[in-house]
Amino acid sequence: MLTRPLLLGQSRRFLQTSTMVCADKGGVFSRFNPWAKQQQQQSDASDQPQSTEVVGNATFDVAFQDKETFASWKTNEIVSDDEQIQSIIQSIVIEHIPGTSQADYQQASLQNVDTKFKVVKDSIKQLGKEVPNASLHSISTVQDLISFFQQKPSLEATSVEQFFTQQAESLPSNLRFELSKTQQQLQQE
């Protein structure tokens, strides 16, 4: 009777260790274990020197690269001289619209979408002033384009207070304009 439990204990130990031995040495069970192969690959990779910097418990392996700055396609200087605007647009129109001369370039039509795009884009490039989408539909001739680029921006028309006073009837009743405390004090003085 004493021999029986002793043999039974040895056989259990042999069965429990045999699976571990097979898995460690690339046996039957390691083929079904996806982590076993990765551990072998990681141990191979750890033998090679790496370009990582270890700080405390954190590891940083980052390659920093300066991004190139985006070059704008339009000029940085906004042309505001009326004669210069006309001469630049004249050269652009003569280049893109065949059959136009220096005498009649202002009456040239911009109804063709491709021609209009080319003329407006080159005008923006050389003059530095952008044409908003809302204004594009009103430009049908070269004269309209010249008058748009010759317009001077009105700073008074952009005042918030003026907008609220002019549009008071059409705005909702809960929407109103109030001056800041410092502006109220300045008006009282």
Q: Which of 43, 5, 1 is nearest to 24 (CA)?
A: 43
**pTM for the model:** 0.48
- Write out the chain's pLDDT in tens, 189 residues: 555 555 555 555 554 555 455 545 555 666 666 666 554 445 555 555 555 665 567 666 777 777 776 666 777 788 889 999 999 999 999 999 988 888 899 999 999 999 999 999 999 999 989 899 989 999 999 999 999 999 987 655 457 777 888 888 888 888 877 777 777 777 776
Q: Which of 150, 170, 18 is nearest to 79 (CA)?
A: 150
CB 53 within 8 A of CB 43: no
CB 102 within 8 A of CB 108: no
Q: Which of 48, 27, 52, 47 is nearest to 37 (CA)?
A: 27
Query: How many angstroms separate the CA atoms of 109 and 143, rounded?
Result: 9
Cα-Cα end-to-end distance for the chain: 115
